[in-house]
Amino acid sequence: MFLDFMESKGHLKMKSFSLVPHNDNSLLIINSGMAPLKPYFTGQEIPPRRRVTTCQKCIRTGDIENIGKTARHGTFFEMLGNFSFGDYFKKEAIAWSWEFLTQVVGLDPDRLYPSVYEDDDEAFELWNKQQGIPAERIFRFGKEDNFWEHGSGPCGPCSEIYYDRGEKYGCGKPGCTVGCDCDRYMEVWNNVFSQFNNDGHGHYTDLIQKNIDTGMGLERLAVAVQDVDSIFDVDTLRALTDHVGEVAHAVYHEDEKKDVSIRIITDHIRSVTFMISDGIMPSNEGRGYVLRRLLRRAARHGRILGIDGLFLSELAKVVIATSKDGYPELEEKKEMILKVISEEENKFNRTIDQGLTILEDLEAAMKEEGKTTLDGADAFKLYDTYGFPLDLTKEILEEKGFDVDEEGFKENMEAQRQAARKARKTTNYMGADVTVYQSIDPSVTSKFVGYDKLVSDSKILVLTTEDEIVEALTDGQNGTIITEETPFYGTMGGQQGDIGVIETESGSFTVKDTIHLQGGKIGHVGTMTKGMLTQGETVTLKVDEKNRQLTSKNHSATHVLQKALRMVLGSHVEQAGSYVSKDRLRFDFTHFQAMTKEELAKVEEIVNDQIAAALPVVTKETTIDEAKKMGAMALFGEKYGSTVRVVCMGDFSLELCGGTHVSNTAAINCFKIISESGIAAGVRRIEALTSEGLIHYYEKLSADLAEASAAAKTTPDKLTERIETMQGEIKALQSENEKLKNQMAKDAVGNVMDQVVEINGVKLLAVALKDTGMNELRNLGDQFKEKLGNGVVVIASAADGKVNLMATATDEAIKAGAHAGNLIKGIAALVGGGGGGRPNMAQAGGKNPDGIQAALKKAAEVLKDQLNK
Ligand code: ATP
Ligand code: MG
């Protein structure tokens, strides 16, 4: 009704855009009807009509804490909107919103209350005079509620329409009226009048192009119309709510605590299902993390309700069935949506078990320390690292008489939030990063003519340097050239843009990259290498033919590969990304485990068979519906215009694709997969080569092999055998080496024995060894002592520029007056160190290896003194 009504007021109906923002890094997920239309509001792109209306799927994670608790919030909802890009303004917007609510939908006008920004007398007058609403029913609110602004840039007041649902929904507090946070007066529609520009210092000037941006929650409108408790009681959502109740063996509206869980599951499964249908995969960051959090939260509430086993994909089926008419992508991606959900739910169940084990350890530690409260930091770590929700931690601990330091948990959480907030970039209300390209006249567009020709002449429309629009580019300057027509393919759909030259008789520009700019412009980015090119001049654009050919081969191979993967692995395989350049191709797809050797071989074989079959490649333009009927696979989140291009390879493959291709699969020559790996949960990546790239790869392999064989003094065919022989030889040599070392150590002991001298009837062995560590010195000391029978042993060794010294004495020698500790003390200074020890055993370190001989000599003197006392 809404879309038809707005159509009757001259609006163009457009389909909901994907939840994944296009070319907008200021926003993680689309959260309003206006968000995907930003380029039309800023004037960056020319809208198909100046009045547009949509029903847009939206996700607001900012509302997550409200879900299940208020009657009016979902993380997922559908937003109805009408938009004016510099066309009609407040007068029409206000009149139409009133007409729609009171006459088309038939809501009781006495239950509707508008609000306006306190200084917006214009809007007030329109409500009061034009619509005849008594002044006391129109509420004026401050900036906080009724002014839309975000940093610098376009901004303006808004006017909201509230619906009074009646006393039974009120909080009953005195002063409960429009604007109260309770669920009685529910905001259904917001009309934003974007009329000012804020220069960032609070100075407001009138915008030349004034816009209207409105948003009405479809679910909230239905609550008013159907007169039900909450958005979860609206007929369509109720189907889902009841289904949740069924799996949980709970009846909705019997137990408030259970109801909250039921509503959370109902809401979250809607978000989850829609997100996956737009190609978002669970992960630990960005959109993927939002998805993971919602899915796990739903799973957790399932556990709280006592649901056993996997249940979420069953619910997703209900979401798909009830919403597929408006959002056909749900049905198209059904198999894959269900699979991703079950995989992730499974993974979460395992995580929960892991978390339980860790919690048990924490409990044991608390018991030991006599504590009864779990540290906030520990609870947060469980939550943050193991996805273990605080409620669950609390619940489990409570059963055992423990509690959790919730304040500490919140502090940790807040600290992390602050850190995240700091990391976030600031942008204006429209979220744009200003670049030189945004100052280009939006009516400038370029036409791609390069599917079947690589050279063409055209007029230069715009020239830019890196930061300004210029009349001419001269030798040495870097910049961008935009022409009326171009045979250069701009990077899109994973295919890298063309390179080449743009030239006249006197000037030449090397194109290093070709890109798409907002508003249907194709930019040739590069450097002037000769002369000058000026605006308005006719130039010849020449695409590098070799580069294009190789890229096309890889692109065509990607299509054959995708089909082969679906044949070998199953129809859950969906493209999740691709990259095609002259050197190689990369293809990301949904699949849940590593591919086996056999699967990889089978895929390669199919692709090479299709190359050998020399299939003609035919492209044609048609409508999206026709293409789907033909069996084309549409990509996630891709915006398709009124005509689409279909690429067929014989009867084998059929895909929607705007890229460039070979005219026959035989041109691909050959195909080989170089690697297969996982890049995210449920997403695999294949890297592969074709034709020249593959030949280069084999050339390099064969050169490496030849080099390796030469180094091993053999030929490639005998290399393996040679390596095995060499390994055998190395083993034999190693064991021989061991034997020799042992022998040498024994011999060394034998040799040194002739250095024994006798002092006053006590034998002294004072020797220097090489590279011996302290432990080995002690062992040797014991061995020597045994051989001496009775006497004193002093050994010194230099290792790594340091000196190790040790002395040991037998009992009998000690009785005669020897003292190893004092002996060491007496000689250590000569090797630049100090040390000491007991009478029978002492050691020291030093820094001066040159003093070893002197120290050993001194040992004899010191011992003599000891024995003489
Ligand atoms: P509230 O203050 O009730 O959260 P809001 O001011 O955030 O609403 P807007 O940002 O103005 O809402 O969004 C426009 C309309 O979209 C709202 O009037 C409402 O009908 C709907 N809407 C907003 N948030 C939600 C939500 N979380 N769930 C369902 N509908 C919503
Ligand atoms: Mg809100």
Ligand 1 mean position, distance from CA 217 (Å): 6
| Cα dihedral 34, 38, 43, 47 sign | negative
Q: CA-CA distance, 736 to 717, in Å (whole number)?
A: 31
Which residues contact residue 667 at a Cβ distance below 8 angstroms, ignoring those fewer than 6 apart? 549, 553, 556, 691
Q: Is 268 in the pocket of ligand 1 (CB under 6 A)?
A: no
Ligand 2 mean position, distance from CA 189 (Å): 12
Q: Note the pLDDT tens digit of each residue in 274-332.
A: 999 988 888 777 888 889 889 988 998 998 899 988 999 999 999 999 999 999 999 98
Which carries the bigger pLDDT value, residue 163 or residue 477? 163
Q: Is 60 in the pocket of ligand 1 (CB under 6 A)?
A: yes
Bridge-partner residues for 473, per DSSP? 533
Q: Note the pLDDT tens digit of each residue in 406-449.
A: 999 999 888 877 776 554 443 344 444 446 788 888 889 999 99
Distances (CA, A) of 196 to 119, 150, 221, 768: 13, 12, 30, 91
CB atoms within 10 A of CB 52: 21
111: pLDDT strictly greater than 60: yes
Q: Are 159 and 140 in contact (CB under 8 A)?
A: no
Q: Which ligand 1 atom is at minimum distance from the Cα of 74?
A: 28
Q: Are 591 and 682 in contact (CB under 8 A)?
A: yes
Residue with tokens 């992390």: 416
Q: Is 230 in the pocket of ligand 1 (CB under 6 A)?
A: no
> What was the pLDDT predicted at 319?
97
Q: Which ligand 1 atom is at minimum distance from the Cα of 231?
A: 29
Of all protein residues, whose CA lies closest to atom 30 belonging to ligand 1? 217
Mutation test residue for ligand 1: of 70, 77, 294, the one with most atoms within 8 Å of CB: 77
Q: Is 220 in the pocket of ligand 1 (CB under 6 A)?
A: yes
Ligand 2 mean position, distance from CA 62 (Å): 8
Q: Is 79 in the pocket of ligand 1 (CB under 6 A)?
A: yes
Of all protein residues, whose CA lies closest to atom 14 belonging to ligand 1? 215
Q: Are 660 and 636 in contact (CB under 8 A)?
A: no
Q: CA-CA distance, 312 to 168, in Å (whole number)?
A: 34
Q: Note the pLDDT tens digit of each residue in 242-288.
A: 999 999 888 899 999 999 999 999 999 999 999 999 888 887 778 88
Confidence of residue 638 (pLDDT cuts 50, 70, 90): low
> What was the pLDDT predicted at 420?
61
Which carries the bigger pLDDT value, residue 669 or residue 469? 669
> What was the pLDDT predicted at 431?
45
Confidence of residue 618 (pLDDT cuts 50, 70, 90): very high
> What was the pLDDT predicted at 640?
65
Q: How many CA atoms lie within 13 A of 644 on its CB side?
A: 23
Q: Is 188 in the pocket of ligand 1 (CB under 6 A)?
A: yes
Q: Are 646 and 655 in contact (CB under 8 A)?
A: yes
> What was the pLDDT predicted at 432?
41
Q: Is 33 in the pocket of ligand 1 (CB under 6 A)?
A: no
Ligand 1 mean position, distance from CA 688 (Å): 47
Q: What is the mean pLDDT of residues 854-864?
A: 93
- End-to-end Cα separation, the chain, in angstroms: 118
Bridge-partner residues for 509, per DSSP? 502, 528
Q: Is 210 in the pocket of ligand 1 (CB under 6 A)?
A: no
> Which runs of E-coded beta strand occur in 318-454?
373-374, 403-404, 447-448
Q: Note the pLDDT tens digit of each residue in 126-139.
A: 999 999 999 999 99
Of all protein residues, whose CA lies closest to atom 27 belonging to ligand 1? 73
Phi, psi of 126 (to 5 degrees): -60, -45
Ligand 2 mean position, distance from CA 268 (Å): 17
Burial class (CB in 10 A: 0-12, 13-18, 19+), 521: buried
Q: The tokens of 428 are what?
A: 């204006």
> What was the pLDDT predicted at 428?
40
Q: Which ligand 1 atom is at minimum distance from the Cα of 66?
A: 27
Q: The tokens of 745 are what?
A: 């150590």
Residue 333, classed as helix, strand or coil, is coil
Give the number of the ligand closest to the Cα of residue 217.
1
> What was the pLDDT predicted at 800?
80
211: amino acid identity, one letter? N
Instruction: Give the gyration radius of the chain's Cα atoms.
Output: 40
Q: Is 77 in the pocket of ligand 1 (CB under 6 A)?
A: yes
> What was the pLDDT predicted at 422?
57
Of all protein residues, whose CA lies closest to atom 26 belonging to ligand 1? 73
Vertex 312, ends 389 and 388: CA angle to 5°?
A: 10
Q: Which helix (H) or strand (E) holds 368?
A: helix 334-369
Distances (CA, A) of 5 to 11, 102, 499: 9, 13, 49
Which residues contact residue 833 at a Cβ distance below 8 angstroms, ignoring those fewer than 6 apart? 803, 805, 844, 845, 846, 847, 848
Q: Is 63 in the pocket of ligand 1 (CB under 6 A)?
A: yes
> Which range has the worst mean pLDDT, 385-389, 469-473, 610-614?
385-389
Best mean pLDDT range from 39-48, 336-345, 659-668, 748-757: 659-668
Q: Is 389 in the pocket of ligand 1 (CB under 6 A)?
A: no
Of all protein residues, whose CA lies closest to atom 25 belonging to ligand 1? 73
Confidence of residue 602 (pLDDT cuts 50, 70, 90): very high
Q: Is 73 in the pocket of ligand 1 (CB under 6 A)?
A: yes
Give the number of the ligand closest to the Cα of residue 31.
1
235: amino acid identity, one letter? D
Burial class (CB in 10 A: 0-12, 13-18, 19+), 340: buried
DSSP 461-527: EEEE-SSSEESEEETT-EEEEEESEE-PPPSBTTBPPP-EEEE-SS-EEEEEEEEEETTTEEEEEEE
Which carries the bigger pLDDT value, residue 420 or residue 457? 457
> What was the pLDDT predicted at 393?
84
Give the number of the ligand closest to the Cα of residue 181.
1
Q: Are 622 and 643 in contact (CB under 8 A)?
A: yes
Q: CA-CA distance, 111 to 119, in Å (whole number)?
A: 24
Query: Among candidates 198, 187, 153, 147, which has minimal Cα distance to 38?
Result: 153
Q: Which ligand 1 atom is at minimum distance from the Cα of 63?
A: 27
Q: Is 189 in the pocket of ligand 1 (CB under 6 A)?
A: yes
Q: Note the pLDDT tens digit of each residue in 701-752.
A: 999 999 999 999 999 999 999 999 999 999 999 999 888 877 776 676 667 7
Give the number of the ligand closest to the Cα of residue 73.
1
387: pLDDT strictly greater than 90: no
Residues in the chain: 869
Per-residue DSSP letter, 101? I
437: amino acid identity, one letter? Y
Of all protein residues, whose CA lies closest to atom 7 belonging to ligand 1? 63
Q: Is 270 in the pocket of ligand 1 (CB under 6 A)?
A: no
Phi, psi of 326 (to 5 degrees): -80, -25
Give the number of the ligand closest to the Cα of residue 75.
1
Q: Is 68 in the pocket of ligand 1 (CB under 6 A)?
A: no
Q: Is 559 in the pocket of ligand 1 (CB under 6 A)?
A: no
Q: What is the mean pLDDT of residues 193-219?
A: 90
Ligand 2 mean position, distance from CA 72 (Å): 10
Q: Is 333 in the pocket of ligand 1 (CB under 6 A)?
A: no
Q: Which ligand 1 atom is at minimum distance from the Cα of 214?
A: 14
Which carries the bigger pLDDT value, residue 535 or residue 661? 661
Ligand 2 mean position, distance from CA 63 (Å): 7
Give the number of the ligand closest to the Cα of residue 187.
1
Q: Note the pLDDT tens digit of each residue in 815-852.
A: 999 999 999 999 999 999 888 889 999 999 899 999 99
Residue with tokens 């609206």: 234
Of all protein residues, whose CA lies closest to atom 11 belonging to ligand 1? 190
Per-residue DSSP letter, 23? S
Q: Is 279 in the pocket of ligand 1 (CB under 6 A)?
A: no
Q: The tokens of 806 are what?
A: 């040790």
Q: Is 187 in the pocket of ligand 1 (CB under 6 A)?
A: yes
> Which range has the worst mean pLDDT, 156-160, 584-588, 743-747?
743-747
Count each helix (H run) and each strand (E run) in the chain, helices first.
24, 35
Q: Is 232 in the pocket of ligand 1 (CB under 6 A)?
A: no
pTM of the model: 0.68
